[in-house]
Structure 1
Amino acid sequence: MRHLSISKAWDETRAILGRDGQLMMVVAAALIALPAALQVTLNPDQAAGTPAENSGLVVLLSFVAAIITFIGTLAITHLALSSGSTVAEAIRVGARRFFPVFVAALLWVIPMMLLFMLVLGAMVGPEALESGDPQQIGQALDGTELLVLLFLMLAFFYVGVRMFLITPVAVAEKKGPVAILKKSWQLTSGHFWRLFALLLMFAVAAMIVLITVGVMIGLLTTLAFGEVTPWSLPAALLGLFTGFVQAALTVILMTMSARIYAHLAAEPTVPHASAD
């Protein structure tokens, strides 16, 4: 098991962002900020962290935006691993590696979700599950069943942390979906708690920033341009602000994951093995 220093990885992340951050933000603006802005323009409520009503068009556009964003994260990871790459090259790598890493993600997410839903359905019954009412579902569960569901959720989080490196693995090693999962699991062995603490802190900070920006910009755009409604100018402005915040956060996280991967892989074939 190789030693992992989160502080060293963070120092290298800052160095890379200082050198290549503008290039990364060009990619993030086009492939992350703009799709996110479109989603907020369609559903302004999601920028404030409230549930949005989804029509068929919104679901379709959200799916397309998610694919573009996924490609963007891969492109940013390539830039973090390969100093001197161009934007066009990074986007090509992201597009080529999208399918393997997407399938790899589905291979672990879907079984975990199905298991959770099957267990929940067996506990509360099909009627309560189909209703989707949290209160009705909660009333159908006793203490032991809640503990079982909590255990399944913890198992989901555990596997999620172990899969943290699938993006840099997919970009750097050109493996297939199953091999990507195996390599991420291998690299993160013995480092769960460090990675869990990192992801937890980042998730909390990102949530606070996104909700705060969404609420504040929403208030400002409402005062300046009127009510924020779907397909309105205020909604578009709100989407742009929140989209660029989301893009910046993604650049930071993907660069950090690339540096952690470079430390743990520590192979001569790993590109950008040094942040110097």
Structure 2
Amino acid sequence: MSHLSIGKAWDEAKAALSAHRRLIVPIALGLILLPAVIASMVEPQVPPGQQPPPGSWMLVVLAMIFVMFVGQLAMVLLVNGWRGSVGEAIGQAARRAPPLILAAMMFGAVVILLFSAILAIGMGPAIESGQFDVDNTSGLGWILLLLGLVAFLYFTIRLLMLIPVIASEQVGPIAALRRAFVLTAGNFWRLFGFVAMLVLGFMIVALTVGAVVGAFVTLLFGRPEPWTIALLLVALAGGLVQAGFMMVYTAMLARIYAQLSAGQASVPEVKRED
């Protein structure tokens, strides 16, 4: 078990982002911001509380998610001292993206099976409707659902190193899941606090920017509708917030991984660019 210092990882992440900003920012804009905007533009607009109907737009969104995974993997490589060019880092990230997707699908399949079993036990025959019904959920069902949520949170935090593991190590999806779980042993609460603070900060910024930009755009261009300037501006604002968050989050994951995997507590020597 390695001792983890979130403060030290934060200092290292800031230093690495500053040193490699001319390399990382274009990746964040091209492989995080742009896919996020495209996904927002193609997704059908529906009233709040409703799900958009299935369609070909889902394939576009899946492709954009793949591109974002590539962006995150490439940023991990650059933050942790990648020696090659940006193009080579992106190429390496693209080759490592399929194992990451397979690992995420494996974890997701287990989560779906777990909660399907919990709902089947807790709701009984009412589950046949395909909808979660609060009134027909038993006391045992609520207890199992709570335990399932706790288990989901626990394993999500324990697998937090999955992206840097796959970016940095030549392992398959199953080995990557196992490796990520081992690396985080003994550091659950530190990692949980890190994620909680970062997600809370992201939500505050995203909601604030969304409300301000949304009101301003609606005033100037009207209600955002599919394939309109209004929707494009709202998507750009949201994408910029997401890209900024991903830069900080991924840099932190990279430096936490460096501590937990090899005890490399310092940012690799890099030439700062003013």
Q: Which residue of 2 aligns with 1:76?
A: 75
Report deviation, 1:222. 1.2
CA deviation string 1:22-75 (max 9, x = no partner): 3212011111101111122234869xx975524403222211111111111111
The answer on whether the counterparts of 1:44 and 1:235 sit within 8 Å (CA) in structure 2 is: no
Superposed, 1:222-241 pairs within 5 Å as 222-241=218-237
Is 1:211–2:207 an aligned residue pair?
Answer: yes
Report deviation, 1:85. 4.0
Partner Cα distance (2:161, 2:59) in 1: 28
Is 1:13–2:5 an aligned residue pair?
Answer: no
Superposed, 1:1-276 pairs within 5 Å as 1-43=1-43, 53-125=52-124, 127-128=126-127, 130-132=129-131, 134=132, 137-266=133-262, 274-276=267-269
Identity %: 35
Partner Cα distance (1:15, 1:69) in 2: 23
- Between stretches 55-64 and 233-242, larger displacement belongs to 55-64
Partner Cα distance (1:50, 1:221) in 2: 22
**Matched residue of 1:60: which SS?**
helix
User: What TM-score do the two structures reach when normalised by structure 1?
Assistant: 0.90
Partner Cα distance (1:90, 1:252) in 2: 18
CA deviation string 1:58-108 (max 9, x = no partner): 222211111111111111111111245432122101101011121122222
Partner Cα distance (2:148, 2:112) in 1: 10
**Matched residue of 2:157: which SS?**
helix
Equivalenced residue count is: 269
CA RMSD of aligned residues (A): 2.3
CA separation of 1:140 and 1:52: change in aligned 2, threshold 3 A = closer
Unmatched tracts of structure 1, length 5 or more: none
CA separation of 1:20 and 1:116: change in aligned 2, threshold 3 A = same
Unmatched tracts of structure 2, length 5 or more: 270-274
Report deviation, 1:123. 2.1
- Structure (1/2) with the larger helix percentage: 1
CA deviation string 1:170-222 (max 9, x = no partner): 11111111111111111100000100111111112212222222222111111
CA separation of 1:9 and 1:231: change in aligned 2, threshold 3 A = same
The answer on whether the counterparts of 1:222 and 1:234 sit within 8 Å (CA) in structure 2 is: yes
User: What TM-score do the two structures reach when normalised by structure 2?
Assistant: 0.90
The answer on whether the counterparts of 1:33 and 1:243 sit within 8 Å (CA) in structure 2 is: yes
CA separation of 1:103 and 1:126: change in aligned 2, threshold 3 A = farther
Q: Which letter maps to 1:178?
A: I
Q: Which letter maps to 2:72?
A: T
The answer on whether the counterparts of 2:76 and 2:250 sit within 8 Å (CA) in structure 1 is: yes
